[in-house]
A and B are shown apart, each in its own frame.
Chain A
Amino acid sequence: MAKVYNNWVYIKFMRGLIFSENAELGKEMLNFLGGKIECDVAFAGEVGEAGLFAAKKIFILDSYPYDPQPVAIALESIATSYDYFFVGATTAGREVAAMMSQDLKIPMESEILSFDLESGQARISRFYYGGKTVMEKITSARIFTVMAGIASPLVTEKPYEQEVTVVHVQKPGINLITREEKQKGSIDLTRADVIVAVGRGIGKKEGLDVAGKLASALGGELAGSRPVCSDLHWLGEERQVGLSGKRVKPKIYIALGISGQIQHIVGMRDSKIVIAINRDKSAPIFNECDYGLVGDLYEIVPKLVQALGF
């Protein structure tokens, strides 16, 4: 920012502070902000890890409790020398950022995709309308949460000359008493990389075995359309994909005997690659797929499984 004092131009360089409890995300943010604003880093971890960050000043939180409040307070204690704050958009990070915004009375923007400084203000972009559009805006906000995966981590080749400070985190008000593993057997289709989905077109319940073999050959999950899950109960409701089921976005989605009613399409449209196998070549699913095979799935699928070496 340039300010004019007695005809002298006084240039103040903006400084940013990056915080993420996840070291990897911290390095991503360093890369993301590189060349735009000079940043120092705060993280929760071992002193030895500090050298991995390409930053001049490193703050290490001496503990990282379950409660975001003391984390926010610890960061606020070092906040005075910084103009902008970037917090990794993890579950805990979002809470920390919101608390800092409240305490420091600084506006905040969440989940930014880009950041630029433009005549003393931040120009950012973020997803809007549930990810359907990207909104760009100039904002007075100075706290941001940054999505994971928007830049590759910045790797330091030579050890950095750093000033390392340990910051004390107060005793938390909330304590973690116990952790319980999620019940086994519960599946989360929304996280699956490969999904083999079956529709009414498989004709008989035994078709599930055929589809299941393909799914396990690919290391994927089995899913179904509404008729298969809700009407016939061949699969549980937790495996239903569609408007009244789960919305999935795997890397590969294989639709077996699915005609492609909108009820189903809505749930799988975000998949990266869609492969459809159906006997009816006029089935609407063929308008939605990248690869379409017209034919009997009972002939095609076993051959696919064989070709995959199973």
Chain B
Amino acid sequence: MSLVGVIAFYFTYTLVLFSIIAILYTFGLWSRRFSVAISIQRIWKLGAEEMNRLIRGNSIDRMHFAIVVGLLLSIAFALLGPALPYLLPLLYLMLALTLPAIAGLLLSLYWRLQLLNKSDRLNRKLNGSKEMIFNSKKLQVILIVVIVFTIAQLIVEWITGFEWLANLLDATKNLFIAIYYARPSINLIKNFDRPITKVQLPFELKKIQSGEVDAAQVKVGVDKIGELSSDAIASCDSCVEIGACEAACPATATGRLLSPRVLVRKVSVLKESNGDDADPFKEILDDEVWSCTTCGACVYSCPVGVDHLGLIYQLRRTMVEKNRLDQKKSSLLMNLMQGGNSMGLPNYARNSWIKDEFGISEAREGKPFEYLLWVGCMPSFDERSRESVRSLLKIVREAGLSDKLAYLGDEETCCGDPARRLGEEGTFQNYALTNIEIFKKYGAKKLVVLCAHGYNSFTNDYISVDSSMKGIKVYHESQLIEELIEKGKIKLKKANEDVTIHDPCYLARYNGVVEPQRLILSSASNLKEPQQSGERTFCCGAGGANYWYDVPEEKRISHERLDQLSATGAKVTVTLCPFCNSMLNDASSVKMNGSMKVIDLSQFVEEHLDKNG
């Protein structure tokens, strides 16, 4: 190497070292600001989680992974540069690794260039301010620059004599990382294992009722951006316009006025340009907030741990607090507050048919029971939905468990989920406290639900209100049926029939319940998985209280989902939630003249019971 070459190499190598120090410095800075302790264990856990995602993941996850590998590889090349000629096996290994990394990076680049256009259209459609649109472009271009520099560096590493150029590329890219990507990285390290089910409580009703907390001191909703929770603000500021949320969002996919990316960026840019006193609704549209079905796909797919849902709940609470509700939403709240159920029908004798048809006793009759059946509001009032309960009760009878089951009758009200999702936290907590009292009164140890929302409420939401709920085991019907099969209480016969499955977001993505339904279905039919299934399921359109109201859209979410399900070729869809069932049933009757049969898991199992076995 000539002297000039040596000087050039070491000069640029120094730049690399400086740029790495800059990265370490900004990482340290943000970890202090976010008060995150970065430990080896935490990073190891994160790595394991990322690998896990990669295995189950989709193309966006793989692209994201390629970028991370490319970046780590490029930094390793630059840092180990002077030593590499003496470590030939390592050099060859690293060179070999560059090939898949470059391929992945090129794909990401292609995706990002497409997105640049698409996201711009969305920004304008959703009324993004000039600053927001400019900032959005800027961050996306920076990401593209980082990808291009990384690709260039990895290519240059193959050419001897141009190490200085590789170093220069690396140092520049590292500076971008230090400036723009330290914060999101720390946010990820802090939040990657935060469960989607976690909802921030603006107050604890129990403490207000007991006088421990003064009700006058409780503030619900936000008038100013600065009043958002620090987690929500950190989330919004950590967004770097990757667009994974947008790609996963059912509202964006059906042309509703919502992109989770635009929403968090609006908050971040508004805070930056107008300060903490800015009114968040200066730029956020009401229907942007109402378009969300709280399916959690955005939070699940975000590579940097942004909590879009946490922000949406805070905005919804604000709108409820200010009564910015149309008649549909306010009548839902009215029904919940006055009638004891979401349907606005008299609660009296809502489930008396269970006793009439199955002879199962109500809890208040005092007969000992093992399982308490929570019928839920849909099956209590909707004739078609009742079929799923009838089927479940027939299965229970077949298993010889009818005597061990009881239900609440008129004491059953609402689980509170629609209230919480709409942003009426007080009504939710009121229901939760009342129901917990009822469970305690009857000494319930096992609850059985058919609805994914009830399942999530009892499993997660109620524990945050009263930790004694931890002592109650909640069974979704799929889990109960699986247990009955496992214990040999019921047997299924295999049919040669193609069946597809629609996982409810609140069951699969929120609570990771994906196995029982698959074991059941594949043991009795040919299960055809739709493209988005399991934890990556696509919403039916009813969640987040959307069952009770409508927002402007280009296509129904349920129709989009039905298209995905019918693409499997199956003519039967099995659902695990009465709301999904109702949405997809409607979609099937409108779009496919009812040729897609939509049934509940319990109905499927009842049809396939092997009564001679």
Residues of A within 8 A of B (CB): 129-130, 132, 200, 226-227, 230-232, 237, 243-245, 247, 259-263, 265-266, 269, 284, 287
Contact = CB atoms under 8 A, between A and B. Distances in A.
Nearest to B346: A132
Contacts of A227: 586, 589-590
A247 B345 contact: no
A266 B343 CA distance: 7
A244 B548 contact: yes
Given A230-B556, A247-B344, A263-B582, 11 more contacts: A130-B338, A130-B339, A132-B338, A231-B556, A231-B587, A244-B328, A261-B383, A262-B343, A262-B378, A262-B381, A284-B384
Interface residues of B, number: 26
A244 B579 CA distance: 14
B331 interface: yes
Contacts of A265: 381
Contacts of A237: 550
Contact of B547 (A129, A244, A269): A244
A261 B385 CA distance: 9
Contacts of B343: 243, 262, 266
Given A262-B382, A263-B582, A269 B550 contact: no
B325 to A, nearest CB: 13
A266 B345 contact: yes
Contacts, number: 63
A226 B384 CA distance: 16
Given A129-B339, A130-B339, A261-B382, A243 B587 contact: no
Interface string B359-388: 000000000000000000010011111000
Contacts of A243: 343-344, 547-548
Contacts of A287: 383
Nearest to A229: B550
Given A231-B586, A269-B345, A261 B550 contact: no
B334 interface: yes
11 contacts: A129-B339, A130-B339, A227-B586, A230-B550, A231-B559, A237-B550, A243-B344, A261-B382, A262-B378, A266-B345, A269-B345
B506 to A, nearest CB: 19
Nearest to B347: A132
Given A230-B556, A243-B548, A244-B547, A130 B334 contact: yes
A302 to B, nearest CB: 24
Nearest to B556: A231
A254 B334 CA distance: 27
A234 B384 CA distance: 24
A262 B383 contact: yes
A259 B384 CA distance: 10
A247 B339 contact: no
B554 to A, nearest CB: 11
Contact of A129 (B338, B548, B556): B338
B385 A232 contact: no
Contacts of B334: 130
Given A243-B344, A262-B378, A263-B582, A232 B331 contact: no
B30 interface: no
Contact of A247 (B331, B346, B549): B331
B550 A200 contact: no
Contacts of B381: 262, 265-266
Interface in B569-591: 582, 586-587, 589-590
Interface in B426-449: none
Given A262-B343, A263-B582, A244 B590 contact: no
A309 B328 CA distance: 39
A200 B589 contact: yes
Nearest to A286: B383
Contacts of B384: 259, 261, 284
Contacts of B382: 261-263, 284
Contacts of B587: 231
A85 B589 CA distance: 57
